[in-house]
Structure 1
């Protein structure tokens, strides 16, 4: 007997909840914000909007389904199951936070603050959940976009997966020293000193990757979220007698890998801006970055 589908509601602590937890009471939080020229009512209204959205989505879950909730801080300890339908209630970044823990489960993004969030990944309103959830597992259900992801694999089997981008560099963003090359480029390798290397997807092309791309003049064509290719950029490469600047940007096809060998005491690799979940790399280690076989299945 197969298990009934399970709706997993992914959410995060609101700014209002964090403020009250830090300052003890609503009044103390209001005083703190007022001293910095802000009105707590604005923060409280966004909090209420999030709670309303969670309640509306919860009410839309079919009665025959199981359901549970997981807070963003607990994602790394939560076990997703094959029969899950993941409902992300919040901001675009919350979808990226959840993506690396999934293995093909459909994801429905619910925007709790339309107009404030870009809505690139949280594409729906809470009222849409009534129709979306029952059809999410159906063969003829809503359109599902298969979003490309990026992965970094170290030579000691450490592995990191991200939806937007992976950054490789020094933990404090100081100068990183390493040897960089493309595995399908005849073995050309260059010693570099830079502010790090950024490798991003088409989804990431709406954020950090796009910012670097614009600074470089947009010479490369940005990928779409479903394109099976990545862009990579070296940030602020420093020319010297021992380090070069000829390999500073490029595109990675599905089978290509960017190879980085550490020549610093310690470098890290982290994904989607989450520095607390990083690969630790020491002198002499090698890490390969490229297109991940896994995709994020986002309900369109």
Structure 2
């Protein structure tokens, strides 16, 4: 019988101050840079100290636990998680979202390093609670929230998942060109790209797009629409919106908004000779190439995130 505890994988990020020191080589140069810009260096310092304190507390717990590994979030795309791993993200909320999309149902514990700074919608715990939460999670005695994910699967076999949203378009501010197939309709479009949102992400980027479109329509004499309502976190459907569709002799704009379900995917075929991309959750440097001839099918992922409560 194996009495070894389950392995814990701790995911951390560099603070703003640590990023600046890396960029400017020394603490003093980072401080000079910020103060020269009129920024509050003391706030950067407070954030760094709070994060370091929380990290020391979490690390002490894991040293007592025994089996653990500590990795930076930059390594997530290439890290191989084991099926029985327990994952901890010492956040902000964005770190939790960025971690969940690389998991396959492993429980994730979100730790808020500074509750006075971060609302922590995805960070229900502070570092001091970790010993009890971790033991209960390992014994499968903690409740959890199920977080459905979006997935883009390409005709060349590649795929990318998203906790909040997928962006499909071009790297720059030029127009994206593609063929869209949805609900039995098919047309060529030219736009600023598409956003596909999960229930969790429907309070963010998609909300801003929809709210802006409603306001513009009403300002131009359109009927007043009900206020935007996000999807619940555990929704079994996705929403998509086309940004700034441009109707012309060669492009249409009738398929601009809708819902995606597992049996009703959204299909796209790229017409872009270069710079076509798909990225998720705002991480632009972790992307799939979406260029001429490649087809993408977007639907709910087969796996889901598991956020410990």
Shorter chain as denominator, the TM-score bin is over 0.9
Distance of aligned partners of 1:122 and 1:173 in 2 relative to their CA distance in 1, 3 Å threshold: farther
Task: Point out 4+ residue stretches in structure 1 off by more than 3 angstroms.
Answer: 61-65, 216-221
Correspondent of 2:213 among 193, 211, 216 = 216
Structure 1, unmatched stretches of 5+, are none
What is the RMSD computed on CA atoms of the aligned residues?
Answer: 1.7
SS at 1:136 equivalent: helix
Alpha-carbon distance between aligned partners in 1 of 2:158 and 2:122, rounded to the nearest angstrom: 28
TM-score w.r.t. length of structure 1? 0.93
Aligned ranges 1:231-246 → 2 under 5 Å: 231-246=239-254
Alpha-carbon distance between aligned partners in 1 of 2:295 and 2:144, rounded to the nearest angstrom: 35
User: What residue number does 2:108 align with?
Assistant: 107
Alpha-carbon distance between aligned partners in 2 of 1:175 and 1:295, rounded to the nearest angstrom: 33
Contact 2:267 2:295 in 1 (8 A): yes
Deviations 1:47-97 (A, max 9, x none): 111111111122233735401101011112322112211110020111122
Contact 1:148 1:292 in 2 (8 A): yes
User: What residue number does 1:192 align with?
Assistant: 189
Please report how far the alpha carbon of residue 222 of structure 1 lies from its aligned counterpart in structure 2 after TM superposition.
2.2
User: What residue number does 1:152 align with?
Assistant: 152
SS at 1:242 equivalent: coil
User: What residue number does 2:285 align with?
Assistant: 276
Correspondent of 2:298 among 289, 293, 300 = 289
Please report how far the alpha carbon of residue 148 of structure 1 lies from its aligned counterpart in structure 2 after TM superposition.
0.7
Correspondent of 2:202 among 196, 205, 211 = 205
User: What residue number does 2:40 align with?
Assistant: 39
Please report how far the alpha carbon of residue 117 of structure 1 lies from its aligned counterpart in structure 2 after TM superposition.
2.3
Aligned ranges 1:126-165 → 2 under 5 Å: 126-139=127-140, 141-165=141-165
SS at 2:293 equivalent: coil
Q: Of Structure 1 and Structure 2, which has the larger fraction of its residues in helix?
A: 2
Contact 2:97 2:281 in 1 (8 A): yes
Question: Across the two proteins, how many residue pairs are aligned to each other?
Answer: 296
Contact 1:161 1:292 in 2 (8 A): yes
Alpha-carbon distance between aligned partners in 1 of 2:25 and 2:152, rounded to the nearest angstrom: 41
Distance of aligned partners of 1:17 and 1:128 in 2 relative to their CA distance in 1, 3 Å threshold: same
Please report how far the alpha carbon of residue 30 of structure 1 lies from its aligned counterpart in structure 2 after TM superposition.
1.3
Please report how far the alpha carbon of residue 28 of structure 1 lies from its aligned counterpart in structure 2 after TM superposition.
1.8
Structure 2, unmatched stretches of 5+, are 215-224
